[in-house]
């Protein structure tokens, strides 16, 4: 029984026919050169248009915001045109789509940066992780991340303006709204977490100061396109890329409390058992409590993601833990995931080797139910 999962819900100006959303999924297949969405990317999203809401793969707001090879952007005319084809295809199938706005901050490499500069961060601290770059022959390889440069306050203001412009571009591309990626150890998360933010100005130190950058972005983007088309994704207690906070209940409690000041489309939290693609070996035992705490604090629509199947998603909606569940890996392997969950049909297993980079294989070739049944 999936009675609750298949009840409609309003999100900002949108009416969602059910609560099975598609989580943001980086697939590293943007057209080169230029990081421009292609016809194949359009096909991939069109195939998944039966989602209650598609959240696009993370999409860089500027050249400085890129950290991995072959990820799409939303800062050039060609990228806007590419995304317009995607949004039009999803809408033609009756779907709805938000674009996820991304600035990686320190999780980058000089090869992506304007003038090959060092990537930017709240503080010049070493980064425990690797990023995905290309070698001189254009093949993808993993590379160490250099110690980044600390942003100036003027640099922060420029990035706030880049978010605002990117949101405007997303709307010009025909998207229904944007999700601000403030999790997974990327720029806004780097400012939030005490482990990565050692600043002594207005953007560091107290919780209020560490939250300031995100709230300025929310304010600017909301002023540009209307708060009811803006969402925020957070990963409280995530440890990916060296994240960690001394008082996560207080830090994220404060942020989520402040987010009530805007009539946002929704708040998206990732259950910390899975961050990025990695099952976190050091899951904080307080994670369940913090999700419940933030659910109580937040007054709007709450989306949760991370390790859900049909049964646990149904339970989460029925129990009031969440209003919408976003599915990541299950949507990779099952373009018609809502229909499969509703009918309790078997699911295809996604091919993890094809998650990042490559062509059509493991991307646009997963069968829908009728093809399964015919086979």
- Give me the least distance between CB of 23 and ligand FNR, in Å please: 3
Residue 186 designated active-site: yes
Contact between 48 and ligand FNR (CB under 6 A)?
no
Stretch that binds ligand FNR, among 44-52, 108-116, 210-218, 304-312 (CB under 6 A): 304-312
Contact pick of 2, 50, 66, 100 for ligand FNR (by CB under 6 A): 100
For residue 35, state whether it binds ligand FNR (rule: CB under 6 A): no
29 binds ligand FNR (CB under 6 A): no
Q: For residues 150 and 290, which CB has a smaller minimum distance to ligand FNR in the complex?
A: 290
How many whole angstroms separate alpha carbon 296 and alpha carbon 292? 6
Which among 44, 68, 163, 186 is annotated as catalytic?
186
Smallest separation (angstroms) from ligand FNR to the CB of 60: 11
Cβ density class 348-366: b for 16+ within 10 Å, e for less: bebeeebbbbbeeebbbeb
For residues 150 and 221, which CB has a smaller minimum distance to ligand FNR in the complex?
A: 221
Told to check if 355 binds ligand FNR by CB under 6 A, we report yes
Tell the burial category of 43 from Cβ atoms under 10 Å away from its Cβ (0-12, 13-18, 19+): middle
Cβ neighbors of 312 (< 8 A, separation 6 or more) are: none
Binding to ligand FNR (CB under 6 A) within 277-296 occurs at: 277
SS (H, E, C) 104-168: CCCCCCHHHCHHHCCCEECCCCCCCCEEEEECCCCCEEEEECCCCEECCHHHHHHHHHHHHHHHH
- Structure tokens given for 110: 């000089």
Q: Does 205 bind ligand FNR (CB under 6 A)?
A: no
Binding footprint of ligand FNR, residue count (CB under 6 A) = 24
Q: DSSP H helical segments within 248-344, as ranges?
A: 248-259, 287-297, 310-318, 329-333, 337-343
Residue recorded with tokens 């230029």 = 34
x/- mask, ligand FNR, residues 322-341, rule CB under 6 A, reads -----xxxx-----------
Q: Which residue has the tokens 């490499």?
A: 109
Cross-strand bridge partners of residue 142: 132
From the list 12-20, 205-213, 246-254, 299-307, the region that binds ligand FNR by CB under 6 A is: 299-307
- Candidates 99, 187, 218, 274; binder of ligand FNR (CB under 6 A) is 274
Among 49, 265, 270, 354, binds ligand FNR (CB under 6 A): 270
Phi, psi of 48 (to 5 degrees): -105, 20
- Distance between CA 72 and CA 36 in Å, rounded? 6
- Judged by CB under 6 A, the chain residues 166 through 195 that form the site for ligand FNR are 181, 183-184
Query: Is the preceding omega at residue 242 within 30 degrees of 0, hence cis?
Result: no
Return the residue of 17, 205, 307, 358 that touches ligand FNR, per CB under 6 A: 307
Q: CA–CA separation, 135 vs 127, rounded Å? A: 21
User: Quick check: 262 binds ligand FNR (CB under 6 A)?
Assistant: no
Asked if 25 interacts with ligand FNR (CB under 6 A), we say yes
Name 129's bridge partners: none
Catalytically annotated residues:
186
Binding site for ligand FNR (CB under 6 A): 23-26, 57-58, 100, 181, 183-184, 233, 270, 274, 276-277, 305-308, 327-330, 355
């Amino acid at each position: 029984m999936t009675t609750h999962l298949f009840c409609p819900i309003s999100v900002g100006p949108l009416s969602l026919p059910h609560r099975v959303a598609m989580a943001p999924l980086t697939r590293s297949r943007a057209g080169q050169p230029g990081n421009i969405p292609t016809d194949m990317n359009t096909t991939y999203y069109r195939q998944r248009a039966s989602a209650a809401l598609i959240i696009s793969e993370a999409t860089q707001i500027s050249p400085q915001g890129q950290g991995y090879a072959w990820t799409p952007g939303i800062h050039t005319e060609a990228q806007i045109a590419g995304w317009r084809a995607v949004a039009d295809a999803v809408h033609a199938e009756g779907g709805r789509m938000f674009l996820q706005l991304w600035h990686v901050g320190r999780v980058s490499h000089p090869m992506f940066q304007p003038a090959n500069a060092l990537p930017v961060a709240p503080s010049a601290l070493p980064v425990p992780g690797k990023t995905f770059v290309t070698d001189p022959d254009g093949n993808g390889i993993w590379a160490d991340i250099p110690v980044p440069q600390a942003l100036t306050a003027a640099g922060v203001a420029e990035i706030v303006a880049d978010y605002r412009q990117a949101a405007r571009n997303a709307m010009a591309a025909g998207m229904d709204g944007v999700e601000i990626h403030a999790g997974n150890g990327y720029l806004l998360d780097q400012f939030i977490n005490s482990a990565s933010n050692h600043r002594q100005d207005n953007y560091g130190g107290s919780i209020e100061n560490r939250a300031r950058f995100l709230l300025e972005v929310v304010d600017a983007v909301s002023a540009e396109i209307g708060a009811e088309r803006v969402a925020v994704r957070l990963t409280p207690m995530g440890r990916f890329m060296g994240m960690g906070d001394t008082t996560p209940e207080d830090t994220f409690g404060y942020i989520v409390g402040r987010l009530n000041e805007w009539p946002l489309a929704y708040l998206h939290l990732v259950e910390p058992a899975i961050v990025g693609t990695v099952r976190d070996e050091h899951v904080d035992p307080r994670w369940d409590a913090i999700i419940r705490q933030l659910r109580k604090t937040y007054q709007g629509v709450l989306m949760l993601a991370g390790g859900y199947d049909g049964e646990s998603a149904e339970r989460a909606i029925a129990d009031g833990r969440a209003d919408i569940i976003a599915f990541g890996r299950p949507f990779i392997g099952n373009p018609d995931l809502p229909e499969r969950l509703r009918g309790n049909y078997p699911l295809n297993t996604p091919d993890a080797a094809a998650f990042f980079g490559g062509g059509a294989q493991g991307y646009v070739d997963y069968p829908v139910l009728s093809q399964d049944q015919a086979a």
